[in-house]
A and B are shown apart, each in its own frame.
Chain A
Amino acid sequence: MAGADSPSAALQRRDLCARGIRLAGKMRADVINLLDTYAERQGLDASANVAAVEGLPLAAVEGWDEQTGTQRLLENLAAYRAFRALLAQMLEEHREQLGEADAALGRALAAVLLQVSAFTYHLEELLRLESCGAPSEEEQEEEDGLPPQPHGLFEQKLRGLGVLRELAQWALRSGRDLRQLAKPSPGTGSAPSPAESP
C-alpha cells in the first residue's frame, strides 16, 4: 500500500477529496430541501429553537483552522456514523407514526440516509489512505452509545428538526474540511498553515 505521502497517494487523496466535496455539496442541498419539507409537514417553524438533542454530533468547532487532516476525518466519520443511526431511527419513527400517509417524506428521509451512508464510506476510504484506519463502529458505539429514544410525538418531531439542521451544518463543514485536506500539506497528518488575518 502506498505511503500517505507518495505522489500516487497524494493524487488519490485529491481525487477522493474532490468527490467528497461534491457529495457533501449535494447532500447539503438535499438536506436543506428536506428541512423545509420536514418542518412544514410536521407543523413546525423551521427556525424554531431546538433544545440540545442527546447524542447529536454538533458541527460547531473551535480552532477549526488548526486541526490536522486526520482530526478532521475522524471527527467527520464519528459524526456521520451518528447521523446514520439517528436518521435510521427517524425513518423508523416516521413509518410507525404515519405509515404510508406521508410516503414522500419517508422517501426523502431514506434518500438522505443513503447519502449519509455513502459519505461515511467515503470518509473511511480517506482514512485508510491516510494510513490511519477508521475506528470500528463497535468501538465507536461503546464510546458514544446508541442514540436514546425520545419520549412524546412532539419531542420526536423537534428532535428530527434538530438532527436535520445539524446535518446541514455538518455537510457544509465537511466540504470545507475536505478542501483543507486537499491542500498540499508539509507532512503526514499536519494541517496547512492557517491564512494570515487581514
Chain B
Amino acid sequence: THIQYERVGADVTMKCGSMDWDAAVTWTVNGTDIDESHLNGSYLILKNVDLMQNGHYSCYEGSSWHLKYQTYLRVGTPPKEPVLMCRSNNYPKGFYCSWHLPTPTYIPNSFNISVIHGTKEMVCEKDAVPKNRCHIRYLQLFSTVKYKVTLTVTNALGKNFTTLTFDEFAIVKPDPPESVVAKPVPNNPRRLEVSWQNPSSWPDPESFPLKFFLRYRPLILDQWQHVELSDGTSHTITDAYAGKEYIIQVAAKDNDIGTWSDWSVAVHATPWTEEPKHLTTEAQITETTSASTSSFMAPPTTKICDKGAIVGSGAVAVCWTAGLVMAAYSVLFI
C-alpha cells in the first residue's frame, strides 16, 4: 500500500489516480466521506496538515464507486540533528555509542553509524535491545589517534547527522559501584563501615584498577562530606553525628583515565547508639505503688537486661528488672 509522507504545515494535493480534474469522485478518510469543500475538482486539498490528518485516504469514481486511488498519509518532520553519546564502561574491551532524536519526527527513521579510527573503518554492531545503540571492540589500545563517529538519521522528509571525535581514554566511564552496604560499628557511636564492589561490567580491575569517591551526609543536612579512596572497596566513616541517619553513595573511576561514574544507589545507615538505661530503683517502685495501683505500669523488661546474658545463661540468669517487677506485684497483692 502506498504511503505518502508530508511535512507538518504543508499543503497537500491528492490526485484521484488517472481521473480527470473534472471527474465526479468521492474521497474518504478512514472510511468516512470527506466534505466537498476540501475538493478542487477531483483533487483533494489538505491545507496546513498536522498529525490529525494522518489516515487512509481513498478516492472512488462517482457513479461506479470503483476505487481509483488510495494512500496512507503520514504527517511528520525531517529529523533534527541527533544526539550522540559514546562511552566505554568496560575498558579495555570496547565502547558503545547510543543516540536519540531531540524531538520526535512522527514517521519512521533509519540510523546509520560509521566509526573511523585513523584510516580504518570499524564495524559498530547494533544491539538488539536497546535499538538505538551499537558497540565496538577495541582493536588497538593506547592509541593517540582519535576516533571519529558519525551518525546519520534519515527519514522520508530529510536527513541530518552529527559527528563525535574523541580519544580512546576520554570516553572511559565505569558503571557505578555495586552492592554498597553501610553498617554501624558496635560500641562506636560515630562510625559507619561502608563496603562496595567493583561494577560487574568492569572486566579487569586488577590490571585496570578503579579508584572511588564516597560521599555521605546526615539526612537532616544538605552538605555532603567527600572522601577519595585510591584503593580498596571499603571505608570507615569516623566522624558521623551520633544517632543520626546517614545517606551514603559511592562513585568509581579508572585510576588513570576517563571520568567518574554516576553515583551508586544510595544506602542509609545510622551509627550505633547505646540503648538508654531504664531507671527502676526500689524507691521509684515504692512511690508508684503508694500513689495509685491502677497507674502502675510494669517497666519493659528489655531495657536493662542484656539479651546476650539472658540467652547465654538460661534459667540461672536473673534479670534484675524482672525481679523488681515481681517484687512490685508482690507488694500490690499482699
* A60 with B140: CB separation less than 8 A: yes
Chain B residue numbers with a CB within 8 Å of A65 are 92
Q: A28-B256, A197-B93 are in contact. Are A183 and B144 (CB under 8 A)?
A: no
Q: A25-B256, A62-B139, A198-B90 are in contact. Are A169 and B144 (CB under 8 A)?
A: yes
Segment at the B interface, from A1-9, A83-91, A173-181: A173-181
Q: A196-B203, A198-B203 are in contact. Are A60 and B92 (CB under 8 A)?
A: no
Chain B residue numbers with a CB within 8 Å of A198 are 90, 93, 200-201, 203
* A64 with B203: CB separation less than 8 A: no
A61 at interface (Cβ–Cβ under 8 A)?
A: yes
Q: A28-B256, A176-B208 are in contact. Are A64 and B200 (CB under 8 A)?
A: no
* B140 with A172: CB separation less than 8 A: no
Which of B142, B144, B169, B206 interacts with A64 by CB under 8 Å? B142
Which of A25, A165, A173, A195 interacts with B141 by CB under 8 Å? A173
A166 at interface (Cβ–Cβ under 8 A)?
A: yes
Question: Could you write out 27 A-B pairs with CB less than 8 Å apart?
Answer: A58-B144, A59-B142, A59-B143, A59-B144, A60-B141, A60-B142, A60-B143, A60-B145, A61-B140, A61-B141, A61-B142, A62-B139, A62-B140, A165-B144, A169-B143, A169-B144, A172-B169, A176-B208, A179-B208, A180-B207, A183-B206, A183-B207, A195-B203, A195-B204, A196-B203, A197-B203, A198-B200
B326 at interface (Cβ–Cβ under 8 A)?
A: no
* B93 with A172: CB separation less than 8 A: no
Name the interface residues of B93-109: CB closer than 8 Å to any CB of A.
Answer: 93
**Interface mask (A160-198 → B, CB under 8 Å = 1, otherwise 0):** 000001100110110110011001000000000011111
* A175 with B142: CB separation less than 8 A: no
* B257 with A172: CB separation less than 8 A: yes
Q: A64-B142, A166-B144, A198-B93 are in contact. Are A176 and B203 (CB under 8 A)?
A: no
Report the separation of the CA atoms of residues A65 and B80 in the bound assembly, to the nearest whole angstrom: 41
**Interface mask (A46-63 → B, CB under 8 Å = 1, otherwise 0):** 000000000000111110
B256 CB to closest chain A CB, in angstroms? 6
B28 CB to closest chain A CB, in angstroms? 55
* A169 with B93: CB separation less than 8 A: no
B interface vs A, CB < 8 Å? Answer: 90, 92-93, 139-145, 169, 200-201, 203-204, 206-209, 256-257
A70 CB to closest chain B CB, in angstroms? 17
Name the interface residues of A1-33: CB closer than 8 Å to any CB of B.
Answer: 25, 28
> Of all chain B residues, which has the CB nearest A166?
B144
* A60 with B256: CB separation less than 8 A: no
Chain A residue numbers with a CB within 8 Å of B139 are 62
Chain A residue numbers with a CB within 8 Å of B203 are 195-198
Report the separation of the CA atoms of residues A73 and B93 in the bound assembly, to the nearest whole angstrom: 22
Chain B residue numbers with a CB within 8 Å of A196 are 203
* B204 with A64: CB separation less than 8 A: no
Q: Other CB < 8 Å A-B pairs besides A28-B256, A62-B139, A64-B142, 20 of them?
A: A25-B256, A59-B143, A60-B142, A60-B144, A60-B145, A64-B141, A65-B92, A165-B144, A166-B144, A172-B169, A172-B257, A173-B141, A173-B142, A179-B206, A179-B207, A179-B209, A195-B204, A196-B203, A198-B90, A198-B203
Count of CB-CB pairs between chains A and B under 8 Å: 56
Chain A residue numbers with a CB within 8 Å of B169 are 172
Report the separation of the CA atoms of residues A183 and B75 in the bound assembly, to the nearest whole angstrom: 61
Report the separation of the CA atoms of residues A61 and B141 in the bound assembly, to the nearest whole angstrom: 6
Chain A residue numbers with a CB within 8 Å of B204 are 194-195
A43 CB to closest chain B CB, in angstroms? 21
Chain A residue numbers with a CB within 8 Å of B207 are 176, 179-180, 183
Chain B residue numbers with a CB within 8 Å of A28 are 256
> Of all chain A residues, which has the CB nearest B203?
A195
A69 CB to closest chain B CB, in angstroms? 13
> Of all chain A residues, which has the CB nearest B90?
A198
Chain A residue numbers with a CB within 8 Å of B206 are 179, 183
* B92 with A64: CB separation less than 8 A: yes
B282 CB to closest chain A CB, in angstroms? 67
Report the separation of the CA atoms of residues A50 and B214 in the bound assembly, to the nearest whole angstrom: 40
By CB atoms of chain A within 10 A, which of B90, B93, B144, B257 has the most? B144
A41 CB to closest chain B CB, in angstroms? 21
Chain A residue numbers with a CB within 8 Å of B93 are 197-198
Chain A residue numbers with a CB within 8 Å of B201 are 198
Report the separation of the CA atoms of residues A99 and B92 in the bound assembly, to the nearest whole angstrom: 43
B177 CB to closest chain A CB, in angstroms? 16
Report the separation of the CA atoms of residues A64 and B141 in the bound assembly, to the nearest whole angstrom: 7
Chain B residue numbers with a CB within 8 Å of A62 are 139-140
Report the separation of the CA atoms of residues A183 and B207 in the bound assembly, to the nearest whole angstrom: 8
Which of A58, A64, A172, A194 interacts with B256 by CB under 8 Å? A172
Report the separation of the CA atoms of residues A172 and B204 in the bound assembly, to the nearest whole angstrom: 16
> Of all chain A residues, which has the CB nearest B257?
A172
> Of all chain A residues, which has the CB nearest B117?
A60
B36 CB to closest chain A CB, in angstroms? 64
